[in-house]
A and B are shown apart, each in its own frame.
Chain A
């Protein structure tokens, strides 16, 4: 099996889906000749031509609005937003249309499209190249929100997203685009939407996380195991909505302690939803408080980003608080 990084795995997913289904088209800024600024769409224009790999004018509103129209007519567009930080101009189209067309038309029309975009911090990108805005999408009924943490999952989840009949926001943690490599099957497979992945088994405390924070969580898990002998279970949510509540509950039945780790800011962030759901429905499983380790409630800073993002020390502090309650 070939070893790939996430960029290569995503590229292969697009290539296979475009070959499999002539309705799949790619559009966005610099996705053609340039192959995307991170090269996720590299070579697609040579293979599938300018009609299916479309360099667009510089307008996020245009890209998403036009992709919605394409999806209404019967294509399966994969629209790239160059950095998720630039998606806001398209919010009207996303919230008012992409998310609501099925409901507004009583199920008569749907918008089977994927909005894929690099997200999150860790590359010294500053406030407009580092954001983790998944909560906005999770909060918007009608959207599926996905974030892979491995090349294998990236390929399988992107293929599942392209085949989904509901619109998918597909967020790619750019700091691990090339740093994580693993064997990825050269053949067709999908990873189901809505299913979490058990990354590390443990008995004492559960970390629920996703994206690049999976790796920070694993480091912290190792540290507390060595220092205190605590056994940490790590769950990668993969699909952020609809999230796999059963996987979390099953883990909590064993560990009875919950820490949520995400890069997005804390207040009204994705962790708030998960914590509230567990507190509301399964408080009896818990021995103590739920802890959240998150980005701070500020714009993403250019300086000291490793202190802003959840890091091994901050996850350690949360694990300690929960374990020693």
Chain B
């Protein structure tokens, strides 16, 4: 008897297995993937840009110019591969560890740095750290409480369905985030209403110091989809081609009205959780070394070279081009003035109620008084 009438939804093999296109050394696993050359090179370039930008955000945090950064190193393939499957008009609900996804959607390094350094051009006007997004790219900035964005992606997908738009939404979240109520409610609603949403779980093995086995007794995260009637697919998250391939399938499924998919991208956070973390307190060097070997950029480079799409020289040139361009952007952004104090009282409501008008006066008077007293607060 066919339970729920759908074999696909209950396809345990895909939820328990690990889909791969290229192996850890960049060799094709089963035949050559048939993707356009340009797309393959784009994948690699986006990952390079994300890697370089990530390094700068770390450096800028150490310089005291960025409040906090959540390093992406090692996870570039999941963010880049999954979002390349979206169309421009689709919506993204990211978490805090997907620089590559922002770049794929068209956000520039300058916009990201303006945000991180809370300059006068910060599109989110100094609201919070480590979150990015912009309406013009259909990227909704994440809430810092993890997993909160999951039901939002479901709701937006459902709204598109109700309004008759052929739009797909995609959301990112970590392995730890699957323990929260938002994940369960989100998947349940998505399953019940066949919402056109793609859930991308970046299973990087750790939630700060808590290992995956402390988040779930289930054999994989992908398998959790099945109980909600949502197909689960487990993929090598460091294989950008594999991530793209399963994401494209999920996006197509969603767009054609077949409902949601849960993708578990198996990856690893090579750096600390955030710039405030010390991973030596909870994990060994061995494990990190093991995953260094599997990291996505080295792998894709090897593949591209072996396929004749890239030479060693071209690779070097690509890196130095982006290193130079991003450094120039950093220098430019560092020169920009900060946001004025008044922004802290703006955007609470469409129009400020009386209390905020009173408090604006108090703020301005206190700034005057501080000057008069010669007191510097920071």
Q: Which residues of A contact B (CB under 8 A)?
A: 29-30, 32-35, 37, 55-62, 85-86, 88-89, 124-129, 223, 266-267, 296-299, 301-304, 306-308, 311-314, 316-317
With A128-B128, A298-B348, A302-B127 as given contacts, are A34 and B179 in contact (CB-CB < 8 Å)?
Answer: no
User: Within 8 Å of chain A (Cβ to Cβ): is B281?
Assistant: yes
Query: Which residue in chain B gives the minimum CB-CB distance to A306?
Result: B377
Determine if B282 and A34 form an interchain contact, defined as CB atoms under 8 angstroms apart: yes
Tell me whether B341 is interfacial, beta carbon within 8 Å.
yes
Which B residue sits closest to A57, measured CB to CB? B179
Given A314-B366, A317-B366 in contact, is the A30-B210 Cβ separation under 8 Å?
A: yes
A308 to B342, CA, bound (A): 10
Chain A proximity mask over B3-39: 1 for CB below 8 Å, otherwise 0? 0000000000000000000000000000000000000
| Cβ of B376 to closest chain A Cβ, rounded Å | 9
Q: Which residue of B lies closest to A35 (CB)?
A: B281
- Determine whether the beta carbon of A313 is less than 8 Å from that of B375: yes
- Report whether A297 and B359 are in contact in the complex, using a CB–CB cutoff of 8 Å: yes
Instruction: List B residues 180-230 near A (Cβ within 8 Å).
Output: 180-182, 207-210, 214-216
Contact of B208 among A30, A266, A299 (CB under 8 A): A30
Known: A58-B177, A59-B180, A314-B362. A301 touches B343 (CB 8 A): yes
- Residue-wise interface mask of B (315-349) relative to A, using a CB-CB cutoff of 8 A (1 in contact, 0 not): 00000000000000000000000110101110010
* Given A58-B146, A296-B356, A307-B363: A33 touches B282 (CB 8 Å cut-off): yes
Pick from B129, B176, B276, B366: contact of A313, CB below 8 A.
B366
Q: Give the residue name and chain of the A residue nearest to B376 (CB).
A: A306
Contact A126 B356 (CB under 8 A): no
CB distance A301 to B210 under 8 Å? Answer: no
Most buried by B among A55, A58, A298, A299: A58
Contact yes or no, B145 A86, CB < 8 A = yes
Q: A89-B145, A303-B118 are in contact. Are A126 and B208 (CB under 8 A)?
A: no
CB-CB < 8 A to A307: which residues of B? 341, 344, 363, 366-367, 377
CA distance A30 to B207 in the complex (A): 9
Complex contacts, A304 vs chain B, CB 8 Å: 126, 339, 341, 343-344
If A37-B208, A62-B179, A303-B339 touch, whether A129 touches B281 (CB-CB below 8 Å) is: no
